[in-house]
Amino acid sequence: MSQNTMAGDAEAAGAIAGMIDLYGRRLPERGEAIRGTTAGKRWSGTCQHSDQFRVIVEIDDEVYITVPPNDIEID
Mean pLDDT of 16-42: 83
Residue at 47 is within a domain: yes
Residue at 21 is within a domain: yes
Mean pLDDT of 33-54: 95
Q: How far is CA 55 from CA 1, 36, 44, 72, in A?
A: 35, 11, 12, 9
Q: Which pLDDT does position 1 carry in this prediction? A: 45
Range of the domain at 31: 9-71
Residue at 48 is within a domain: yes
Mean pLDDT of the chain: 85
Strand ordering across the sheet containing 55-60: 33-38, 41-50, 55-60, 63-67
Residue at 4 is within a domain: no
Q: Which pLDDT does position 20 carry in this prediction? A: 64
Q: Which pLDDT does position 52 carry in this prediction? A: 87
Q: How many domains does the chain have?
A: 1
Identify the CATH number of the domain in which residue 15 sits: 2.30.30
Q: Which pLDDT does position 11 carry in this prediction? A: 85
Residue 15 confidence (pLDDT) above 50? yes
Residue at 33 is within a domain: yes
